Amino acid sequence: QEGLPLSGKKVLITAGPTYEAIDPVRFVGNHSTGRMGFELARAAADLGAGVILITGPTHLQMDNPSITRVPVVSAQEMCQVALDYFDEVDVVIGSAAVADFRPKTTSDSKIKKKCGGLTIEMVPNPDILQTLGDRKEKQYLVGFALETDNELENAKSKIAKKNLDAIVLNSLRDEGAGFGGETNKITFIDKNFNQKPFELKTKAEVAQDIWTEILSRLHA
């Protein structure tokens, strides 16, 4: 579509959780549903962008001709797909709740129940945004920060660590914010530490607010 704010632009969005396999039946995961990322993708398409939506396991459906959905399972897969597309995109938003750790080994067969419990050794996953931040040229790179304490401080330190242009803070201390649900409450923080807090809104409205903030900086 021509004449829209994101016409001719390509956007990459990560959404949902990642699952890190323990054995063929078990995994380590988290509570992300993908909703926030799906709304960001829809809003970008409405603004005229072509969207690559990389999704961890989620039940959400996406049927939009401007959105190419690439399903993945683990953080390592999500990282590889993001790298595959990175050179061709203008804006990246990392809304996925990526597992920071994965089991060191994945058993080929179901681990049997034993007395005395089970200890699983975990190793660090690649940080997807940091990997992209390190090789960033023209891309506008936006992260999310899901915090439980020292929210602003932690969010700001992620901007520097991952070489981001902005970060969207949501706190699990705010009622109606974060995982699941239809709503979220965010503060948009850019790399100059300009902060804009928003009220509790639907995730569709939050997505529009995020794009308004990004667009005002893209065109500046």
Residue positions forming the annotated binding site for CTP: 100, 110, 126-129, 144, 158, 162
Q: Does 97 bind ligand PMT (CB under 6 A)?
A: yes
Please, are residues 49 and 99 in contact by the beta-carbon 8 Å criterion?
Answer: no
Q: Is 30 a catalytic residue?
A: yes
Q: Does 95 bind ligand PMT (CB under 6 A)?
A: yes
Q: Does 183 bind ligand PMT (CB under 6 A)?
A: no
What is the signed CA dihedral for 12, 16, 17, 23, rounded to 10 degrees?
A: -90
Residue 66 or 76 having the CB closest to ligand PMT: 76
Place of tokens 């667009």: 215
Q: Does 94 bind ligand PMT (CB under 6 A)?
A: yes
Q: Does 20 bind ligand PMT (CB under 6 A)?
A: no
Binding track, positions 139-178, relative to ligand PMT; x by CB under 6 A = ----xxxx-----------x-----------x-------x
Please, are residues 142 and 164 in contact by the beta-carbon 8 Å criterion?
Answer: yes
Q: How far is the CB of 214 from ligand PMT (least distance, A)?
A: 14
Question: Strands 10-15 and 50-55: what pairing?
Answer: parallel
Site for ligand PMT in 24-43 (CB under 6 A): 32-36
What stretches of the chain show up as alpha helix (H) in DSSP?
35-46, 75-86, 128-134, 151-161, 203-218
Question: In angstroms, rounded to a whole number, what is the distance separating the alpha carbons of residues 139 and 104?
Answer: 33
Question: In angstroms, rounded to a whole number, what is the distance separating the alpha carbons of residues 132 and 94?
Answer: 10
Compute how many residues bind ligand PMT; rule: CB under 6 A.
Answer: 27
Q: Does 211 bind ligand PMT (CB under 6 A)?
A: no
**Residue 105, helix vs strand vs coil:** coil
Sites of contact with ligand PMT (CB under 6 A): 14, 16, 32-36, 75, 94-98, 100, 125, 127-129, 143-146, 158, 170, 178-180
**Which residue numbers are catalytic?**
30
